[in-house]
Amino acid sequence: MARSAADDDADVAKLWRTGNRGHRRDCERFARAALGKNAGPALHALTATLYVHIGTETYTLLSDELGFTPPAYERWLRSQLEVVFQGASR
């Protein structure tokens, strides 16, 4: 809903972009902490993965379109991130 409102209203669009930048920074900060100083190319990949997996749009798709309850979403997210971090540690 907020995304479609951003298409129609410049002020909402600005807030949407600001929120997305903050979300990206948070994901990158988390990825840096998880990977350590010498993250290299894995930093971008992990940031992107986190950005998508914990984004509000992903939650909305899973809850509204697929009927995930909050606990089901948390289980799904945990399982996805376990796969991501197992791959990152190789």
The single-letter code of the amino acid at 49 is T
Give, in degrees to the nearest 5, the angle at Cα 12 between 6 and 13: 55
Closest CA to 51 of 73, 23, 30: 23
Per-residue confidence band for 84, with pLDDT thresholds at 50, 70 and 90: confident
**How much is the average pLDDT of 45-71?**
93
Give, in degrees to the nearest 5, the angle at Cα 16 between 53 and 24: 40
- The first and second tokens of residue 89, run together, are 């540690």
pTM above the 0.85 mark?
no
Handedness of CA 71, 77, 83, 87 (dihedral sign): negative
